[in-house]
Amino acid sequence: MNVQSPPEKLTARDYATDQEVRWCPGCGDYAILKAVQNTLAELQADPKNTVFVSGIGCAARFPYYMETYGFHTIHGRSPAVATGVKLANPELDVWVVGGDGDMLSIGGNHTMHAIRRNIDVQLLLFNNQIYGLTKGQYSPTSKIGTKSPSTPLGSIDNPVSAAQFALGVGGTFIARSTDIMQKHLSGVLLRAHGHRGTSFVEIFQNCIVYNDGVFKRFTEKSVQAEMQIHVEHGQPLLFGKDSSKGLILNKDEMRLEAVTLGENGITEADIAVHDETNRALATMLAQMDPPTMPVALGVLYCEAAPTYEASVHAQIDHARKGGEGDLTKLLHRGQTWTVE
């Protein structure tokens, strides 16, 4: 009698290649790579059905380090290539990785179209507010005043808010985390993977060489409690040491305000409750920034909507059943002529 043994459970190490990881020592990419590999192990993802697509930049080396299929494409075009991959084989699990320059500058249009179409991919944006691979020029997310080789006197550009951008073009899943928060980041990645549609995850990441400490105003341990708020659907928007602070909605001015429980008669009953299906609330959360407000981390927005690839294939099936699936007939219908 043959006894079948269950397959061994995959570990994070099974998703790592034999390639030497070549990022600067201390780069936040290491932590993100670990979190992604841990997430795939948690999911027991099939490497043969998993694809990582990247563009150009430090983050774009990601596919080399994943024991899955991968495409290292050209600058800014990874969302377009990933769209093609998903349309060709909707059963594949597709992840897109790129930096803030790659995704929001030369690739801003491709990122926009992937999000608005709601193609079923996980789109991870590594935001370090700088161009790292090309030696520290300012990026679309750099703050005003950022001094760099391309802005020696300080940037005068208004920065892009990645989360607000994704919300503005109709994103169905927008979330945030940081490179150093392994448990939180893995939890966000699991939620993103479970969403059907474009899951846009902004990961605040440190560039130790060219923009070290750019997010320390809310990532350093000494300020995390006061400068971070971890949002969870259906839960009050509380933060601060011992959850002593919270957010209320100023209905007259339609904006969120930070308050302290116990002051001016404020109780937990006054605190706003997070509703991840409320796009307006998600936008207000995405706008918050220290020192006046904490940074919102977690799933800011999530809604169910048809995916692009499902709609495309449904249209093709409908056309075939209606007799419109013959390409030759399609090319020859209407006004045609013969050249002799």
Integer Cα distance of 160 and 167 in angstroms:
12
Integer Cα distance of 236 and 273 in angstroms:
4
pTM: 0.93
The reported pLDDT for the residue numbered 6 is: 66
Instruction: Please name the residue that has the structure tokens 């990933």.
Output: 82
Q: Could you read off the pLDDT of 204-249 as tens digits, one per residue?
A: 999 999 999 999 999 999 999 999 999 999 999 999 999 999 999 9
- For the domain spanning 12-235+274-308, the CATH number is 3.40.50.970
The reported pLDDT for the residue numbered 258 is: 97
Using an 8 Å Cβ cutoff, are 203 and 127 in contact? yes
Asked whether the bond before 291 is cis by omega within 30 degrees of 0, the reply is: yes
The reported pLDDT for the residue numbered 1 is: 58
Average pLDDT over residues 173-195: 98
Q: Which of these, 183, 186, 181, lies nearest to 219 by C-alpha position?
A: 181
Integer Cα distance of 141 and 128 in angstroms:
8
- The structural domains of the chain, with segments of one domain joined by +, span 12-235+274-308, 237-273
What single-letter amino acid sits at 93? Answer: D
